[in-house]
Structure 1
């Protein structure tokens, strides 16, 4: 059995729990490493000072925007590609993969140029105070310039997961993340390059990941044949990509707007508030990215088997994913409640205000994290089936329709505490929405069946 047949066997014939582990664990590890190097960035920058920490927090949403663009094409294509492979439409899969990748790069370049031209007003809008702004601009120019590599990496990463290439996805993200962390340490502690060094470290690590993905594509290891000759844009193709990719992109961009709005409002309470919320956000992103990583493999599995008409495997996989992600969320919540003080102290040892605010943010978000697996599993499940309305509603409401009004209104009545409780309240509303949507679809988890399959 050749390598491509092995990847497809994993999707269509492997035992469900084994397949989800083989698909989900590598992508989860890769996403964790990606999130971890953001945390290491924060740790290293935290050693430079509160203003520098605030600068990284201010620029961070711009990365989320470009990741959203990549997910528009990468995640949208991934869902469609999995269903095409399940239905054995290989030529259409080649066309989809090629068109999605080159379109994402073109769109990404245009947006990056716009960001660089208007970098100063953008940073002010994202909450850069007078003390934070000089550091934020220095970091942002290099960071934004390198985002084109991030667009390529995220798009390709999502597409190859659709063919079951979870191990290579992990290796590429692992090497890129480890390189970033190592260069962070060298640039700050050895070369004394300050925040400029952190930005350069991120740029180099992204270039290395791009080289790895290019090698994979050009070596012929992928099931897909990505080339300029296969670029054939059409209305129908973009509809298939966008109906899944748009909700994912909107979620990512709304996450960016949410962070930007939070930073802007927090800046009224000082640099310590901006830094504390930034630290807590990065810590929570570790748990969130772990779930997202696992669900990338889950989405590929569901999409392929749905395309093949194997609804028994689709339903069982959903039940297993619900069980596993809920257990993971419970463990994360317990760890945060027990070690919140130690976690914040690791990133800021000199500012008592950062400790006080950061712990409060971390604990509240840690408690509501219990329900995140439930939200994300159903959101991913709907998107994998091509149900863009249900999946999109879950994505858009959590960081948009629920969060944005709350983050604007709550501080008016409760000041900084109102800002802190906005995200937990939005998550509670989102959990209720998922219950409503799943009940209408008659998708009931069978835990007995789930445990038997495991």
Structure 2
């Protein structure tokens, strides 16, 4: 039977099966065809999420410097007012761009190349702000996975068993649980924000004391100071104060972005829940299509809000939330239209008239916890790396964080797609596992792994070759382009290395193995991370003590992070392959694990509930 002719056949049938499309795709379509129907849209959908984040940062880093200025200057044929003066101490000396650049150039020309500071502009300020809000936005993105991931797995199993009433109650229970989780996520982010974490993350510019000493004795500068009527401040005091005030702007912008972004977590949580359940019904292409539409909408809004309205980083946050709203509206329309045609279990009416099944929250939440850990591990990694580059004595502080921040959006762009492959293929594997079609489970696993590795290899090759062009889009200064390329090529190795772990995430979540799911998803962000990074920090100290310059000593941090992905990926690959070959074929003959006991209890109660409901409707 041809999958794409399903609708035509349904019209000729007197009996409507609301999940006929899902059953045909997951059960009867050959895996070599079905995997592309589910995994490629999953990859594309997640790639769209990464692309949205990437484009947001491109617009911030390219449009903000052209529309907002730190110091008074002349640009675009007109005088431009600077915003930095509002962040200086009261009564502090105000220098324009030309005046300040004399101090900046005098400092850098006498400073070793590896220790020079970046130019003071809104590009630098934006980069630090974007990097400072990354752990917050990633955590906000993470916590909304708590409910959708587990719900989609159990929903798929309900589809495979034909438990319609349970599936509907599962959807309704997950809906309200997602609302609660999203509100809690927002509160957690705000409390963390108020605790001063942004101030800890935002890096300071590291100055060389010898260079500061020398510019205070620079005859040309002192002569200029006399011309400008400045007698109360030294050049070294002014340059440090101006960079500190620029850091205050970064903190202010980061906080503003976090307030707006995290305030929209509820919208994000709801559209993600619906997207997972729609894919569980086999409508992956629909989700992919609207992800693309929302991205286009996001791009247009970014241009209007950042470039035209000159709203800066605030415009990027607003455009993101409005793009989420486009997705949410599209998915609500899906529910409405497919309810009318009787081709979905999702129902707005059922959100009101249903039985809240609080017992669902345990199984769903435990399995969803692995999805949460998967993403929060990325947030922890980003936070720790930023703090290390900011605080370590052999790091150049803001200069190294600047390079790290420039590489991060490109990695995020492509890295999320690996998760998308697992997310897209999960329903296919889960359905086959529920039917105990072992051969089909194995095929889904290996096909998904091949797609992941092939994707990672192609992307890494492209980015490694075109690194300068990607970084040019992120407005990297020409004088640090070579260093930024090194950072990017090293950090992108994470993508290639972590592709080995995709199969583990897919297999353990799809088979409802809660313990192994949590282990697999926490491997890179927690289990191996602190050991590998601890060794890397120590190795950096060793290099620094042997006279290696700060840039190369600090580069060990990125090398360690990439190595951690390789170690975690190989461990996950080994564990999942053994489980696939040894455990899956004999799954019904081995002792029930605690996670399988939870699953068995869930469906035993669901089966009884379905029978009772059927009997009540017949009387």
TM norm structure 2: 0.67
- Between 107-116 and 329-338, the greater mean CA deviation after superposition: 107-116
Contact 2:377 2:525 in 1 (8 A): yes
Q: 1:254 to 1:228 in 2, by over 3 A?
A: farther
Q: Deviations over 1:426-448 (max 9, x none)?
A: 1122123124413542539xxxx
1:10 to 1:185, Cα distance in 2 relative to 1, 3 A: same
Structure 2's unaligned 5+ residue stretches are 1-8, 11-17, 66-122, 205-243, 541-552, 583-619
Give the whole-Å Cα distance in 2 for the aligned partners of 1:357 and 1:420: 12
- In structure 1, the residue matched to 2:518 is 392
Matches within 5 A, 1:42-441: 42-47=57-62, 48=65, 49-120=123-194, 121-127=196-202, 131=247, 132-219=250-337, 220=339, 222-225=344-347, 227-235=351-359, 237-268=360-391, 269-350=396-477, 352-353=479-480, 355-407=481-533, 410-414=536-540, 415-441=553-579
**Distance (whole Å) between structure 2 residues aligned to residue 276 and residue 172 of structure 1:** 33
Gaps of 5+ in 1: 445-454
CA distance in 2, matches of 1:14, 1:133: 52
C-alpha spacing 1:195/1:439, structure 2 compared with 1 (3 Å): closer
Tell me the alpha carbon deviations over residues 210-234 of structure 1, each in whole angstroms, 9 at most, x when there is no partner: 2222222233253334513335233
Alignment partner of 1:72: what SS? Answer: coil
Q: Cα deviations across residues 62-90 of structure 1 (Å, max 9, x unaligned)?
A: 22212222211001111111122112222
Q: Is the 8 A contact 2:137 2:258 kept in 1?
A: no
Deviations 1:217-269 (A, max 9, x none): 2332533345133352333x223212321111112112111112222223343
Greater shift, 98-107 or 406-415, is seen at 406-415
Moved over 6 A (4+): none
C-alpha displacement of 1:103: 0.5
Counterparts of 1:306 and 1:442, CA distance in 2: 11
Give the number of the structure whose alpha-carbon radius of gyration is greater: 2
CA deviation string 1:20-50 (max 9, x = no partner): 1111222222221111111111111112312
Change (3 A) 1:349 1:437: closer
**3-state secondary structure, aligned to 1:171:** helix
User: Is the 8 Å Cα contact of residues 412 and 418 (structure 1) preserved in structure 2?
Assistant: no
- Contact kept, 8 Å, 1:83 with 1:305, in 2: the verdict is no
1:247-300, Cα deviation, whole Å (9 max, x unpaired): 111121121111122222233433343332233222122222222222222101
SS of residue in 2 equivalent to 1:230 = coil
Does structure 1 conserve the Cα–Cα contact (< 8 Å) formed by 2:256 and 2:314?
yes
CA contact (8 A) 1:74 1:154 kept: yes
Q: Which moved more, 1:266-275 or 1:242-251?
A: 266-275
Distance 1:360 1:177, change over 3 A: same
Change beyond 3 A, Cα 1:149–1:439? closer
Q: Is the 8 A contact 1:50 1:272 kept in 2?
A: no
Q: Is the 8 A contact 2:19 2:159 kept in 1?
A: no
Q: Distance in 1 between matches of 2:425 and 2:372?
A: 19
Q: Report the Cα distance in structure 2 between the residues aligned to 1:396 and 1:50, rounded to whole angstroms.
A: 33
Q: How many correspondences in the alignment?
A: 442
RMSD: 2.2
What is the rounded CA distance, in whole Å, between the counterparts of 2:25 and 2:177 in structure 1? 30
Residue 416 of structure 1 aligns to a residue in which SS? helix
Structure with the largest fraction of helix: 1
